[in-house]
Structure 1
């Protein structure tokens, strides 16, 4: 009988053991990361969920848990407290405040080139031109908006406080008054208005009229940037690729994860939101079109701060802009090759 040499059995065993150890080592090499958002799961968070769903984070050695926000959840203090590793924030105003108040956080990427903050109006009421919105007799604006970008609208575009009424996130007053204008998140409220009011609203992005902040920022602690820059780079790169795949690839698995976290959402609503994100150039426009998703520039951060100084939100020199964001992790064209392969439609 032909017998296999003993050393062959030993070699095979050693090889199998070595392979198992390598796999175990790879599994152990996954860095656990908690990333918190500022609201319930929705299409505007889709790129991050995509990177979880399709394994992009894992390919970058990251075991990422997404911790969603919501009306009764404030994830912002958890970042400086060390309870989470990265935080998704709304726009640069939060980051300016952090630097002003000496909160040890810094922006490491901007996933949205345009802030989706918008003003909406009924069609056929003379509001198709942005400059006519300031003449509306009723402007439904939430309190936080009244004390931030509304001040910019007054100084820059001549809006007046006389029209102000608080927006309480109920569409009924707007739907009932064809002469009213209302604030909205441009990738969400237009969908709700069309569903409830049976018409497509006129939508004016503030970003298209000079409100130059980035949005959907990723913030990290300054000590993380200093001590674990390689971890930050992997998270930023994987998130950028997640956004490319979410916008241009198969996003069904990401949608399923978001619906699991937030059952109020539907796949149809998220698809409609993705269409708006694409059409409005929210993610993939401006600097991102050439430098990759997440791109930022010091010049644009400075421009937005100067606008906010003119609006009276800050004093000149009050915020050290060099502490607001770091560009070391962005502008590297990450994901551009994937976008080309997917066709970027």
Structure 2
């Protein structure tokens, strides 16, 4: 469960189309009531990790701001940058900071304009071994990783903890190999795999949230083509404002309106999965911070610089890349 990390090579086709679109005026269409239509593509099937957007839709926060928003759920075969490039959607979701930085590397005119997860929910999961006290204790153990993760958060783990590539085992989003090997470690999402593995093991696994160890990536970002923002600034502002209010409502108020839409869009989702995921988002301060006072969606240049410095030092990006093109933090202030 949870979104994958999009490899930079999958961006090539979309980057050229986005570059051409940047030269054209792209006023958003309006419906028969004069509301601006915005199609918003998520990074995975409907889930609690999208709850704030569904809450804004379900409770009329978008509509009251003159928007007609359609949430288009993602999945394994969905490429959000390509949807943006083909103008199949106006806005899209970026799963992590690599998505936005990869777009810069490909000269695609699209930016992150909000980051609703101040902490990337990426985790490493181990069996409940009392000898494991920190991520550093996972050195030498086999770690199940998806292909795209090897050029993403694995880079940070190697730089910080001295992990080595001979630890890597292929992860196919099936927990069976992890469950069969008590020394194994696997990647996961804070709000998904730990709960599923706990049900299988009959007790909680050991979970290490990378963000709590300093991993600097944002997550659950809103991606916007430069041309769309330029020609639809008021509608973009309204979308971010309503989404921010939606996230606050989903995490601190009654989540049932959003949950009903999520369950409708994704029949494989269950209420217990939604409930535990929402609780994880709250407990770990993923959206609102540890003290519950963070501004949802806010981004800082310092955080983006830190992300770029650690990844470029490991050869993921050219050190001369203009990392500031990855984001526009004028929509949500910290």
1:157 to 161, 170, 175: 161
Q: Taking structure 1 as the reference length, what is the TM-score of the superposition?
A: 0.85
1:100 to 95, 100, 105: 105
1:306 lines up with 2:278 in the alignment: no
Q: Aligned residue for 1:36?
A: 41
Displacement after TM superposition at 1:273 (Å): 0.5
SS in 2 for 1:118: strand
Conserved 8 A contact 2:31-2:37: no
1:81 lines up with 2:95 in the alignment: no
Q: Aligned residue for 2:175?
A: 171
> Aligned ranges for residues 265-284 of structure 1 at < 5 Å?
265-284=269-288
Q: 1:168 to 1:26 in 2, by over 3 A?
A: closer
Conserved 8 A contact 1:35-1:85: yes
Q: Aligned residue for 2:8?
A: none
Displacement after TM superposition at 1:311 (Å): 2.1
1:49 lines up with 2:49 in the alignment: no
Displacement after TM superposition at 1:287 (Å): 11
Q: Aligned residue for 1:242?
A: 246
Conserved 8 A contact 1:108-1:217: yes
Cα offsets for 1:25-83 (capped at 9, x unmatched)? 99723211100001100110111001111111111111110000111332320112222
1:204 lines up with 2:198 in the alignment: no
Conserved 8 A contact 2:116-2:219: yes
Conserved 8 A contact 1:125-1:178: no
Q: 1 CA distance for matches of 2:91 and 2:293?
A: 24
Conserved 8 A contact 2:122-2:210: yes
Unaligned stretches of 5+ residues in structure 1: 1-24, 333-345
Q: 2 CA distance for matches of 1:297 and 1:289?
A: 16
SS in 1 for 2:293: helix
Q: Aligned residue for 1:294?
A: 297
Conserved 8 A contact 1:123-1:201: yes
Q: Aligned residue for 2:76?
A: 71
1:128 lines up with 2:155 in the alignment: no
Q: Aligned residue for 2:324?
A: 322
Q: Aligned residue for 1:252?
A: 256
Q: Taking structure 2 as the reference length, what is the TM-score of the superposition?
A: 0.87
Bigger share in helix: 1
Conserved 8 A contact 2:93-2:220: yes
* Backbone CA RMSD of aligned residues: 1.8
1:115 lines up with 2:112 in the alignment: no
For these two proteins, the number of residue pairs brought into alignment is: 305
Q: Aligned residue for 1:192?
A: 196
